[in-house]
Amino acid sequence: MKRVAVAVLALVIVSGSACTKSGDTKALAERGQANAQLNLGYMYDTGKGVAQNDAEAVKWYQRAADQGLALAQLNLGNMYATGRGIAQNDAEAMKWYQRAADQGLALAQGAIGFMYDTGRGIAQNDAEAVKWYQRAADQGLALAQGTLGAMYAKGRGVPQNDLEAVKWYRRAAEQGGPQAQFDIGLMYATGQGVAQNDVQAYKWWNLAAAQGNQNAKTQKAIVEKKMTREQIADAQKLSAEWKPTK
């Protein structure tokens, strides 16, 4: 089963530098200023400062993307991927993700990984998915790190390796990713890639559950039944002291 969290990689909307007045932004955009075009697209995309309009968002993302602005290329890819403001077209989404990824944009690299992972807009290819997830993960993108961990855990596109799975789950979990926190909790609970430790499992599931991860909530209740009061107290203390990395 595909990790649901992976889909988020292809659905992130990003704005450029903040613009405080829609009139100023539009004037700059109409003069051909790429960052203003991106921001105006974002404003139409989200309805901030103007009436929400997907078609106008696409228009301005397109103009900025045509000037080579990576964030606009990413957002234009998102619009094609979701069919918002323009006919849904995975091949076009892939084209714009690729242009942004070639400029080193981690979100776009993660999106390409997702496209290869799911076979959208291109032939499904686990090895290519891993390659692009790796590039995004190396730049610190938490969703890509967690998904890369899952690829290692399942042996998809890479040799199965629990140690590598734990490494990447941990990096994503330390940034606060709830799915990765659930995943590393599971590794601690089962002793895969790390010494079995119910206290650590509870800690990570407690953190994930606090963010609404229902699987973590369920597993925490199960593991709690076999833990001592002291172990539960220790796990809760670790959870309370935990802070996400930046």
How far, in Å, are 69, 82, 94, 98, 125 from residue 103 at the CA level?
9, 23, 14, 9, 22
Give 160-183 as a DSSP string. Answer: --HHHHHHHHHHHHHTT-HHHHHH
How many angstroms separate the CA atoms of 224 and 231, rounded?
9
Q: Which residues contact 66 (CB under 8 A, 6 or more apart)?
A: none
CATH level 2 (architecture), domain 9-102:
Alpha Horseshoe (1.25)
pLDDT on residue 23: 79
User: Mean pLDDT throughout 26-54?
Assistant: 96
User: Mean pLDDT throughout 95-123?
Assistant: 97
pLDDT > 90? residue 15: no
How many angstroms separate the CA atoms of 178 and 226, rounded?
23
User: Mean pLDDT throughout 19-41?
Assistant: 88
Where does the pLDDT of residue 10 fall: very low under 50, low under 70, confident under 90, or very high at 90 and above? Answer: very low
| pLDDT above 90: percentage of residues in the chain | 90
pLDDT on residue 17: 55
pLDDT > 80? residue 222: yes
Six token digits for residue 169: 């789950």
User: Mean pLDDT throughout 18-22?
Assistant: 55
- For the stretch 132-156, pLDDT in tens is 999 999 999 999 999 999 999 999 9
